[in-house]
Amino acid sequence: MRRVSTDLMNDDMQYWLRRQERGMASMENRMARQAKVESPRDDPLAAARAVRYDSVVQRLQRFEKNAAYADDQYRVSEGYARQALEVSQRLREIAVQGANGIYGKQDQKYMAAEVDQLLAELVELGNARGADGTYLFSGDKSRTAPFRAVLGGAPGAAGEVLTSVQYLGASGGPAAEVTERSYVELSQPGSEVFWAERQQAVSTFDARDWRAVADQGILVDGKEVQLKAGDNVYAVAAKINSSGAAVKATIDPRSFSLALETTSAHQLRLEGVPGGGAAGGALVELGLLAPTGSPPDNWAPSARVSGGSLFDVAIRLRDSLNRGDILETGGAALAGIDAGIDSLNRRVAELGARSERLQAVKARLNVEIPDTTKLLSNEADLDMTQAITDYRMLEYARNASLGMAGRLLPKTLLDFLR
């Protein structure tokens, strides 16, 4: 049985008044934050959905920024590739003129001087930087100049000229996530964009009796190939062909040596997997790689390597013009320039295709982000009209309670003392 006393009535009234004040304080906080849920226990289901939707919105916004950045990179890279294409077209015009046979040796030397300047411009285009200061064609090594010009003497040249161009960048490029688990490369390595011919590497080692002595790994254009102890040269070729690398491996039927050829115009890169045995041990034993050196300049001295870059074919054209060799100018030099133009056209088309894909990605994200934001708003955002109405109701109830308490609670000694 509950005992009713003056203290009980006072305590009950204070308890309910505090609850009303807490409700008003909670509503004030929600209106200040414009949030429907102040703490997860207010509505656990809505809080869980809001957290999930907020995470999705954040990821979609990140994807949108990545897509916009990648598209900007593609447009800048495409611009420089188009300029390199224009320079290559001029090189082709010079090669055709030099192969006509109507120009004297002095005129051909004048042409060679122009080729030398165009070659220097190609190197500048290959070392182009983006707006953020990073190199566009150096792959993962975005802070390293991708191409290094080597100067020296050349037959028929007056003074020191550019004799070779070394690629110092990486074979792969950085990637950005533009949709869930879908990545796009931000750039193309210079070993692909500025390469003219398919590269071939042929060993002179008779590998018919060769066997791998231990498990080891090799990298072919960045693709890992795992070799097992006891694998013969045919197994090595088969594993390279099934690795996904743009490289075709064959065995010469007469010399039984391993031959590799790229399926597209780019620089072939071979190396050993770190921690996977000796550095390229199998490829060293098969006569393709030297025991020392860093890729891509680690070829064995006995290996026959052919297929050059756009710089190599330009140097070949310049040297043939300096020598007055019409057959070389209109033959190998012109063919190399044509191959380089075809490769540049393909790379420009790839950059354009990637840019078009990103346009579609951004259009889709422009729809997904507002839709998901609306779902988040339905769960987390506060209806201000309803909140103000609820707050006024709580305020009216509190004022009514205070007025009722003042009239109904028994008078105290202080009331009589007044």
Whether 278 has a pLDDT exceeding 50, the answer reads no
| Beta strand spans in 127-263 (E) | 147-152, 161-167, 175-179, 182-185, 200-202, 216-220, 223-227, 247-251, 258-262
Whether residue 166 sits in one domain with residue 83: yes
What is the per-residue pLDDT for 262? 94
Query: Which residues share a beta bridge with 259?
Result: 202, 250
Please provide the DSSP assignment of 231-262 as one string: --HHHHHHHHHTS--SEEEEE-TTT--EEEEE
Domain of 236?
200-306
- What is d(CA 331, CA 96) in angstroms, rounded to the nearest whole number? 10
Mean predicted confidence (pLDDT) in 252-267: 91
What is the per-residue pLDDT for 41? 66
Mean predicted confidence (pLDDT) in 382-405: 71
The mean pLDDT value of the chain amounts to 85
Whether residue 170 sits in one domain with residue 316: yes
- Other CB atoms within 10 A of residue 99 CB: 22
- What is d(CA 148, CA 278) in angstroms, rounded to the nearest whole number? 29
Contact 107, 299 (CB under 8 A): no
The secondary structure element, H or E, covering residue 270 is: strand 270-272
Overall size of the chain counted in residues: 418
The CATH number for 114's domain is 1.20.1330.10
- What is d(CA 293, CA 305) in angstroms, rounded to the nearest whole number? 16
Which tokens in the block code for residue 349? 């088309």
Cα torsion at 68, 74, 77, 78 (round to 10°)? -130
- What is d(CA 97, CA 78) in angstroms, rounded to the nearest whole number? 29
Contact 288, 298 (CB under 8 A): no
Whether 169 has a pLDDT exceeding 90, the answer reads no
- What is d(CA 105, CA 98) in angstroms, rounded to the nearest whole number? 10
Whether residue 214 sits in one domain with residue 353: no
- What is d(CA 412, CA 416) in angstroms, rounded to the nearest whole number? 7
Whether residue 158 sits in one domain with residue 79: yes
**Phi, psi (5° rounding) for residue 191?**
-70, -10
Residue 332 lies in a domain: yes
- What is d(CA 159, CA 152) in angstroms, rounded to the nearest whole number? 8
Whether residue 330 sits in one domain with residue 230: no
Whether residue 61 sits in one domain with residue 73: yes
Residue 128 lies in a domain: yes
Whether residue 70 sits in one domain with residue 133: yes
Whether 273 has a pLDDT exceeding 80, the answer reads no
- What is d(CA 274, CA 280) in angstroms, rounded to the nearest whole number? 9
Query: Which residues share a beta bridge with 299?
Result: 289
Domain count for the chain, please give it.
2
Whether residue 169 sits in one domain with residue 75: yes
Which of 327, 347, 368 finishes a domain?
A: 368
Local structure of 195: helix, strand or coil: strand
Whether 7 has a pLDDT exceeding 70, the answer reads no
Which of 284, 306, 328 finishes a domain?
A: 306
What is the per-residue pLDDT for 198? 92
Whether residue 227 sits in one domain with residue 151: no
What is the per-residue pLDDT for 276? 45
Which of 281, 306, 331 finishes a domain?
A: 306
pLDDT band with cut points at 50, 70 and 90 for residue 155: confident
| 375 CB-contact burial (10 Å; exposed 0-12 / middle 13-18 / buried 19+) | middle
- What is d(CA 321, CA 10) in angstroms, rounded to the nearest whole number? 110
pLDDT band with cut points at 50, 70 and 90 for residue 274: low
Whether residue 246 sits in one domain with residue 146: no
Q: What share of the chain is helix, strand, coil (3-state, %, to 5)?
A: 55, 15, 30
- What is d(CA 119, CA 115) in angstroms, rounded to the nearest whole number? 6
DSSP secondary structure code for residue 100 in this structure: S
Radius of gyration of the chain (CA): 37
Residue 6 lies in a domain: no
- 2-11, 253-262, 337-346, 367-376: which range is least confident on average? 2-11
Whether residue 333 sits in one domain with residue 233: no
Whether residue 106 sits in one domain with residue 67: yes
- The string of pLDDT tens digits covering residues 39-52 is 666 667 777 777 78
Please provide the DSSP assignment of 394-409 as one string: HHHHHHHHHHHHHHHS
Residue 324 lies in a domain: yes
Residue 394 lies in a domain: no
What is the per-residue pLDDT for 88? 95
Residue 137 lies in a domain: yes
Whether 92 has a pLDDT exceeding 70, the answer reads yes
Residue 406 lies in a domain: no
The CATH number for 281's domain is 3.30.70
- What is d(CA 150, CA 205) in angstroms, rounded to the nearest whole number? 31
What is the per-residue pLDDT for 277? 45
* Most confidently predicted of 26-40, 64-78, 271-285: 64-78
Residue 112 lies in a domain: yes
- What is d(CA 135, CA 128) in angstroms, rounded to the nearest whole number? 6
Closest CA to 215 of 203, 204, 207, 224: 224
